[in-house]
Amino acid sequence: MQTIKIELTDKGSLKALRELEHRNLIRILNEPETNYISLRGDPVSQEEFYQWVKAAENTSTGEIYFNK
């Protein structure tokens, strides 16, 4: 087993992961917060947008390795 950290791009990706969990292919360890500005679906102010961009610039990136 290997634990990886991923970033979900929309609510559909979380649904796809839940389907994999239902088929016992993966296990979700922590339920992600979906109240992000990119997932809310409502208009945002210019200040909220700038804060979102700043937070994204300060977020570390990760790598995914596949065993063959």
Task: Provide the mean pLDDT of the chain.
Answer: 80
> Mean pLDDT, to the nearest integer, of 1-25?
84
> Mean pLDDT, to the nearest integer, of 4-18?
82
- Match 């997932």 to its residue by tokens: 39
Q: Is the pLDDT of residue 22 over 90?
A: yes
| Residue 32 DSSP label | P
What is the pLDDT at residue 68?
66
Contact 14, 32 (CB under 8 A): yes
Does 20 fall in a domain?
yes
Does 2 fall in a domain?
no
Amino acid at the residue 54: K
Q: Is the pLDDT of residue 34 over 70?
A: no
By residue range, what is the domain housing residue 46? Answer: 11-57
Structural domains in the chain (count): 1
Confidence of residue 32 (pLDDT cuts 50, 70, 90): low
What is the pLDDT at residue 46?
92
Does 50 fall in a domain?
yes
